[in-house]
Structure 1
Amino acid sequence: MIRVSVIGAKGRMGQHVVAAVRNAKYMELALTIDAGEDITAITPENTDVAVEFSVPSASLENVRALVKSGVHVVVGTTGWTEEKMDIVRADLKEHPGLSVFIAPNFAISTVLAEYFAAQAAKYFESAEIVELHHPDKVDAPSGTALHTAHALAAARQAAGMPNIPDNTQTDGGSRGQVVDGIHVHAVRLRGLNAHEEILFGNAGEQLVIRADSFDRTSFMPGVLLAVRKAGTRAGLSVGLDQYLDL
């Protein structure tokens, strides 16, 4: 039986995580923590894995506190940078065997889309990303889109591909944020949930890879998979693809 505590349990994602844990086999809900409550109540005596779905401004300190307590952590909060992850890596050196897992996205469809896109990236001259979310999302571009852009850029670099052609004059215009040479566009529209398109182009042809999450329940199989895998890979891990048979 895996004892799971949830940070941000009353949030939009946290509520779904609480329900998923309660309904999952071989898991039990330990503690639920929200803003203003004492995260140090979560300890190895009552929790095996903590699932952290708070806000970007609080996530780093939450994770550091959980690592200090000696609890495995699964993180779904976005807004993580390499600098923040380096801080966690340093903390983990003092806790060998402990794991922190960060997922830019828990939707298996999106993880597969990124994987397929990385395979396609080395065959197309042009590539761009469009991510579409509800207007309550606080970060833009999404962590998923940033992660995808880095994956595309790495695949292109490994294949020795030239820079993506773009002669646009951007004075007074918009071409989206450039991430490792990949243009990333963010749409915020009421009625959307979480969606990503990766577009590839060659002369005379186009490939579009799209993943759609219509409801937050789509993230729960990935969350539960990460909880079950917690502790199997010590240190900091990023991306659900590491737990899929790809």
Structure 2
Amino acid sequence: MTNAPAPSPSSTPIAVVVAGALGRMGAEVVQAVIGAPDCRLVAAIDTTAGKEGADVGLELGLGELEVAITGDFEGALCQASQAVRNDGPGGGAVLVDFTHPSVVYEHTRAAIAYGVHPVIGTTGLSPQQLQDLAAFAEKASMGGAVIPNFSVGMVLLQQAAAAAARFYDFAELTELHHNRKADAPSGTCIKTAELMEELGKAFNPQQVEEHETLAGVRGGQRESGLRLHSIRLPGLVAHQEVMFGAPGESYTLRHDTIDRSAYMPGVLLTVRKVRQLQGLVYGLERLL
């Protein structure tokens, strides 16, 4: 798969801050950034106990990178902002955030305030929070991106689901993730449902008076009638299935992430494009 065109050798490498640098996704991002000739890692943020000041490269088995782990989020943003103050138009540092839903709103807002372009992979932002951040980014004239899923394959599934929704009135979505994922349903699953709902139609018209003998067994129901189901098990990475039904047939779309490296082309593509954006975008499909 081809990423964005490589920059000219004289271009200044993109300064990248990684938040959640010792996590499973953060570690992949650090490795991708140091392997990209047009990027440079300028800060690694993580709050893991006992890791303050340690070299992030040594901690991740990547060799010494001379970038110390810090738990000071705003301090790292300030440092990154100062590091690129002479980069000129279209410049600026980029924050890649894979942390936790409880802090992602504050992290995104702080990045915009410090003039660091946010690339947010952490899910859990509410529609109202997204609206607030979009307005804040517009006011600050800052480009940013909230990407529920960086997989190009998932974007293709979502587009196929939106197309199929025109022809099917019955559909349910199931997302499956590892059991350390904090939010449910996943942001990717919600985004898929939103794309299907852009038609403005109702799904799953009631055929019978249902009764759950176990609360929640039929999943969560959105206003459109779409039902979303979440599964959390060790051994899983990230998987999603959209099943459509009609008399005499079913149509199933499925995407499986086998390894987190699948997300890195999308992460790097977003890092390369976010500084040219005029505001906050939601979804990788907006950048492809």
Using the size of structure 2 for normalisation, the TM-score is 0.79
Distance 1:195 1:168 in 2: 31
Amino acid at match of 2:272: R
User: 8 Å contact 1:128–1:184 — kept in the other structure?
Assistant: yes
Q: Secondary structure at the match of 1:122?
A: coil
Amino acid at match of 1:191: G
Amino acid at match of 2:273: K
* Structure 1 residue 88 corresponds to structure 2 residue 133: yes
Amino acid at match of 1:208: T
Partner of 1:37: 72
**Looking at both structures, which has the greater relative contact order when contacts are Cα pairs under 8 Å and sequence separation is at least 6?**
1
User: 8 Å contact 1:101–1:230 — kept in the other structure?
Assistant: yes
* Structure 1 residue 108 corresponds to structure 2 residue 148: no
The ranges of structure 1 where at least 4 consecutive aligned residues each deviate by more than 3 angstroms after the TM superposition are: none
Q: Secondary structure at the match of 1:231?
A: helix
Distance 1:121 1:107 in 2: 21
Partner of 2:18: 6
Distance 2:235 2:287 in 1: 31
Partner of 1:142: 186
Partner of 1:214: 258
Distance 1:163 1:112 in 2: 22
Deviates more, 1:11-20 or 1:179-188: 179-188
| Unpaired runs of at least 5, structure 2 | 1-12, 48-70, 85-92
Displacement of 1:24 in angstroms is 1.2
User: Which structure shows the bigger proportion of residues in strand conformation?
Assistant: 1
User: 8 Å contact 1:128–1:200 — kept in the other structure?
Assistant: yes
Distance 2:183 2:202 in 1: 30
User: 8 Å contact 1:33–1:39 — kept in the other structure?
Assistant: no
Distance 2:220 2:240 in 1: 15
Distance 1:89 1:239 in 2: 13
Partner of 2:58: none
Amino acid at match of 1:165: P
Distance 1:236 1:29 in 2: 23
Partner of 1:176: 219
Aligned length: 239
Q: Radius of gyration: which is bigger?
A: 2
Partner of 1:61: 106
The CA deviation string for residues 169-212 of structure 1, in whole angstroms up to 9 with x for no partner, is 13323210112321001111221110000111111111111000
Distance 1:211 1:89 in 2: 29
Amino acid at match of 2:17: S
Distance 2:197 2:73 in 1: 41
The CA deviation string for residues 91-111 of structure 1, in whole angstroms up to 9 with x for no partner, is 223311x11200111111111
User: 8 Å contact 2:170–2:245 — kept in the other structure?
Assistant: yes
Distance 1:223 1:165, change over 3 A: same
Distance 1:181 1:151 in 2: 14
Using the size of structure 1 for normalisation, the TM-score is 0.92
Distance 2:275 2:231 in 1: 36
Displacement of 1:168 in angstroms is 5.2
Percent of matched pairs sharing the same residue: 39
